[in-house]
Homo-oligomer: A and B are copies of this chain.
Amino acid sequence: MHKYSGETRILVATDCIIFGFDGANIKLLLVQRGLEPEKNKWSLIGGFIKPTESPEDAANRVLELRTGLKNVYMEQFQVFGKPGRDPVERTLSIAYFALIDIHQYEAQLSEEYHPEWFLLDEMPDLIFDHNEMVRLAKRQLRYKAALHPILFQLLPEKFTIPQLQALYEGVYQTKFDDRNFSRKLLSTGLLVKLPEKDKLSSKKGAFYYKLDQSHYEENFEKFLNLVPNPDKFF
């Protein structure tokens, strides 16, 4: 089974930084660690890679196991591998980040592991180097969202322009000009206007939009500029 001789095999885990949006705030999904050391301390959702699965498969399996979540937008983020990062044993972690619409997945959240959503500025201290992972993932989210339309992954299928703007404003912790924002947004051609309105959040009501899926996929790699002066936020 060990065919390359003289080399050391090490434990490899995946950890997932899960960003969610509930329509008003951006949150992070955490669980309480189930084993010693640091049992019951808060942590990212993670677990070890099995011999027959790819890291992507592992990340998805662990995510479903611990939270019940499936078919979630996820991308490989970064490897954390300093010796000593896990005090128990040398462990390498492949970090992923995921973006989800909190309401859409609310029902699925696992009873067994009771994961909880935390506001970004009300987060508990995390185990190991997970605080650092989160810090870097937040930065990465701002970076990538300034270039590509990934934040749509945080919204329900139908959403309003004010909702989308609130989301961007949450990510960048700033206000954008409504008029310029909606003008830019509509000019991308990414959105399809629906006949219905959302009447909950305002008196007038805001029209729902959905993504033009094929246009979205074709243009995902193209640069977008919904965020003014993005580099000042990193």
Q: Contact residues of A with B, CB < 8 Å?
A: 1-4, 7-12, 48-56, 76, 78-79, 81-83, 88-92, 94, 147, 221-223, 230-231, 234
Instruction: Provide the bound-state CA to CA distance between A51 and B54, in Å.
Output: 22
The prevalent SS among residues of A at the interface is loop
Which chain B residue lies CB-closest to A56? Answer: B81
Which chain B residue lies CB-closest to A37? Answer: B3
Instruction: Provide the bound-state CA to CA distance between A76 and B77, in Å.
Output: 10
Name which of A4, A79, A88 has the most chain B CB atoms within 10 A of its CB.
A79
Could you list 30 A-B pairs, sorted by A, with CB under 8 Å? A1-B89, A2-B89, A4-B11, A4-B88, A4-B91, A7-B11, A7-B48, A8-B48, A8-B50, A8-B51, A9-B9, A9-B10, A9-B12, A10-B10, A10-B12, A10-B49, A10-B51, A12-B81, A12-B92, A49-B92, A51-B83, A52-B83, A54-B81, A54-B83, A55-B92, A56-B81, A76-B79, A79-B79, A221-B234, A223-B231
In the complex, chain B residues whose CB is within 8 Å of the CB of A91 = 4
In the complex, chain B residues whose CB is within 8 Å of the CB of A2 = 89
In the complex, chain B residues whose CB is within 8 Å of the CB of A7 = 11, 48
Instruction: Provide the bound-state CA to CA distance between A11 and B2, in Å.
Output: 9
Partner of A231, one of B3, B8, B76, B221: B221
